[in-house]
Chains A and B, each alone.
Chain A
Amino acid sequence: MKKKIKIKINGKSNIIDDKTNLSVLLRDLKVPLRKVAIELNREIVDKKKLNNIFLKTNDKLEIVHFIGGG
């Protein structure tokens, strides 16, 4: 069985497989990549390089988009 790790996605704890690829995770979450920005541990992630990123324990992922605002 694969080792599990705990990460935070948009402030909420999630248990995922260790070394999950960020690109795979976002696909599983059905995130519309062209309409969001992604931050990992306070660093902006280049959306072209998602394949090269593997998540590790205690990572903090933020996925943001535009909503209505004044």
Chain B
Amino acid sequence: MAHDKLVVSKKKFNSRLIVGTGKYRNMSECAKAIEISGAEIVTVAVRRVNITDKKKPLLMDFINPKKITYLPNTAGCFNSQEALRTLRLAREIGGWKLVKLEVLGDKKNLFPEMIETLNSTEILTKEGFEVMVYCNDDPLMAKRLENAGAVAIMPLAAPIGSGLGILNNINIQIIRKQTKLPLIIDAGLGQASDATIAMELGCDGVLVNTAIAKAKKPFVMAEAFKNAVIAGRQSYLSGRIEKKLMGNPSSPTKGII
């Protein structure tokens, strides 16, 4: 398993678990949960600096961007223009090219606005960004994103923050079959076993935020997700048995007394 790495845009990562840094009670809790999860990529948001409260702690003081790969996202953007502006600023902070594009279409269900997402993917790719794209679980749209230059396809399992787990595993399997790009389940997972299922479907990784940050014991859940992703990946690679309708005894039937 040691050589089994997640490869995104030619960058290699040992961990297949990506975690979000939102919704934690404070930054030290967030940093500790990340450490326990073993994640090497974390998503971060771009927001205004609080210029009146200069003592407010900075994320970069807690999570070292030299050790952990920051994946700037466009959370909260509802059109292409806002998303492009956000990621251009993100790149300016410290040269980030690898980004997560997320253009939302509805404030209640938080489903992605795929037309704007597709247009943004094309523009960002032309500008030299490496774009990991949050999308719905539609194989046709996933194909179009791939053709537009996406470096990773990141379909939702269920609405962001819903904790419902994978609602359409058939679509996820179809997307898996059609693409060689990294396939990462982004959004909607609720518990560790959801991550295992995603990995067993052949996904290359999962992105989790709320399920860890809002668990009653985030550190324990962070470890659970770490183990669940590893277990799911091993299970996928090990070649599971066929499903059969009838039973098949585990002990030899010959020599029964």
Which residues of A does B touch, CB under 8 Å?
9-11, 29-32, 34-39, 42, 44, 47, 62-70
Contacts and interface: CB of A to CB of B under 8 A. Distances in A.
Interface in B9-42: 20-24, 27, 30
Given A9-B51, A62-B48, A64-B46, A70 B90 contact: no
B237 to A, nearest CB: 28
Given A44-B88, A67-B21, A68-B30, 4 more contacts: A37-B89, A64-B48, A66-B44, A68-B44
Nearest to A38: B92
Contacts of B161: 70
A47 B94 CA distance: 11
Contact of A70 (B48, B54, B58, B210): B210
Contacts of A35: 58, 60, 93-94
Interface in B92-106: 92-94
B225 interface: no
Contacts of A11: 48
B236 to A, nearest CB: 25
Interface string B62-88: 000000001011010000000001001
B154 to A, nearest CB: 12
Q: Tell me the interface secondary structure of chain B in the complex.
A: mixed
Interface of B: 20-24, 27, 30, 43-49, 51, 54, 58-60, 70, 72-73, 75, 85, 88-90, 92-94, 160-161, 187, 207, 209-210
The 5 A-B residue pairs with the shortest CB-CB distance, nearest first, are A69-B45, A70-B20, A70-B209, A37-B92, A68-B21
A10 B51 contact: yes
B22 A66 contact: no
A8 B200 CA distance: 51
Contact of B49 (A34, A44, A64, A69): A64
Contacts of A37: 46, 89-90, 92-93
B59 A66 contact: yes
B92 A44 contact: yes
B68 to A, nearest CB: 12
B48 A66 contact: no
A27 to B, nearest CB: 12
Nearest to B91: A37
A65 B187 CA distance: 23
Nearest to A11: B48
A63 to B, nearest CB: 5
Contacts of A38: 92
